[in-house]
Amino acid sequence: MNPGSDLETQVMELIIHAGAARSDAMEALRAARNRQWPQAEALLAEASAAARLAHRIQTRLIGEDQGQGKIPVNLIMVHAQDHLMNAMLARELVDEIIALHRDIDALQRRENHDDTL
C-alpha cells in the first residue's frame, strides 16, 4: 500500500469522525431546546464517541510524526485538525448550553407550578 494513501485515508477518517461529532453535538442542542432530554443525552454520547475516534487518529498521527516532520503538513491535514478542534469546542459549548436549557426549563416549571397555587 502506498504510505501517502494510508495517510490520506487516516486524514479523511479524522475529518469524517470530527464532522460527525460536531453534527451530533448540534443535534443534541436542538433536542435540548425542544426539551427532549433523553435524545439530547444520547446525541451527546454519540458526539463524544465520534470525537474520541477522531482524537485517536490524531494521536496516532502525532506519534508517527514524533515531532520530526515525518508526516507532511498540507491543506487537507490542516483542514482535518480544524474540524477536530471545532468539534471538540462545539461539544464542550453544547454541553454547557444544554445545562442552561435544563436550568431554564426547571425555572419555568417552578414558575408555572407557583402560578397554579
Q: Which domains does the chain carry?
A: 3-115 (1.20.58.80)
Mean per-residue pLDDT of the chain: 92
Q: Is 105 annotated as a binding residue?
A: no
Separation CA 114–CA 21 (nearest Å): 40
Other CB atoms within a 10 A radius of the CB of residue 50 amount to: 22
Please give the average per-residue pLDDT across 7-36, as a whole number: 97
Instruction: Give, to the nearest 10 degrees, the angle between helix 75-115 and helix 3-33.
Output: 10
What does the pLDDT read at residue 89?
A: 97
User: Which set of grid coordinates corresponds to residue 61?
Assistant: 498521527
pLDDT digits (tens, 9 = 90+) for 27-72: 999 999 999 999 999 999 999 999 999 999 999 999 998 888 888 8
pLDDT of residue 78: 95
pTM: 0.86
DSSP annotation of 70? -
**Catalytic machinery residues:** 79
